[in-house]
Copies of this chain bind each other. A is one copy, B any other.
Amino acid sequence: MLNIGIIGAGRIGKVHLQSIVYHVKDAKVKSIADPFMDGETKAFIEGMGVNEIYTDYKKILGDEEIDAVLICSPTDTHASISIEAINAGKHVFCEKPVDLTIEEIMKVKNALEGKNLKFFVGFNRRFDHNFAAIRAAVGAGKIGEPHIVKITSRDPAPPNPKYIKSSGGMFMDMTIHDFDMACFLVDSGVEEVYVQSAVLVDKAIGEQGDVDTAVITLKMANGALCVIDNSRRAAYGYDQRAEVFGSKGMVATANDTLSTAVIADENGVAGEKPLYFFLERYMQSFTKEMCDFVDAVVNGTDVPVGIEAGLQSVKIALAAKKSVETGLPVKI
């Protein structure tokens, strides 16, 4: 039985807690730490059977019975806490992005050198049933050599503009999932990035120096071309689709809905909107990634999304930001 400590009791920390309690056999959550723990959160955690609740995450790192930690704190603490945890001999599951800079991620990478510890980056979408089905079809050669990758990723509503700065902007906060997805779907790195972007959703986002709409072209290392389109606001909800086209065919996925019900009336034939946002859409993937993390630690299997993947996606995001600044394609 793996003992896990969760650092950060925000939305995603709670999701992981729930996944472990309900769905992960070989692990239990021993303790949770968060400096800002309100009563509701505390009650939720206790309701899940966790009684060691701290404000200081160092109590978790200092607990010798803890085997692994989940780092669900704000992005700018991911790298430093990761390094502390590694040095304390803990396996680490770290939410994405590992950091907004290459330098800090390299420090984490260096800390891992020579240690026999697992480091898992929380790119949960790799564990989504739809994207996993694309990857499986591509991996099985069903579409031949990949030529074109297309990812549509549109949020139902923009974040609070105040949140933009700390999140690193759209590419680091939102598109980073799509960058990782592009690499995952065709099992390849990225060589060059070009971005066409605009502020079409919310001027306040532009005033923060960020964009809210983008078409991003990637030249993949394996020769394939990739295009990602992003918007911070799709009126019909969370739009998460992907397609890989290759020498023998194409595999594509549609959005998930709450039901398959379709109503035909004098106005037309209407189905449901996509599931509302990432918690609804990707809940199963959060569970799946946690199972895989625990499996990697307990059974010594390979981590499917390690520090290299965390590094790669941030490199692409930084190149994307540079492409916006320069108006030019940027090599990685």
- Residue ranges of A at the interface with B (Cβ–Cβ < 8 Å): 22-23, 25, 47, 129-130, 132-134, 137, 142-145, 147-148, 150, 152, 154, 192, 194, 196-198, 200-201, 213-215, 217-219, 223-227, 229, 231, 233-236, 239, 245, 247-256, 258-273, 327-329
Given contacts A213-B225, A217-B215, A255-B260, contact A270 B269 (CB under 8 A): yes
Cβ A196 vs Cβ B194 within 8 A = yes
A270's partner among B25, B229, B233, B268 (CB-CB below 8 A) is B268
Q: A236, B253: Cβ atoms under 8 Å?
A: no
CB–CB A196/B225 < 8 A = yes
A213 / chain B contacts, CB cutoff of 8 Å: 147-148, 225
A265 and B142 form a contact (CB under 8 A): yes
Contact yes or no, B235 A265, CB < 8 A = yes
- A264, B247: Cβ atoms under 8 Å? no
State which of B133, B142, B197, B266 has its C-beta within 8 Å of the C-beta of A225: B197
Residues of the B chain whose Cβ atoms lie less than 8 Å from the Cβ of A196:
192, 194, 217-219, 225
CB distance from A44 to the nearest CB of B (A): 11
Distance between A132 CB and nearest chain B CB, rounded to angstroms: 7
Contact of A261 among B194, B233, B251 (CB under 8 A): B251
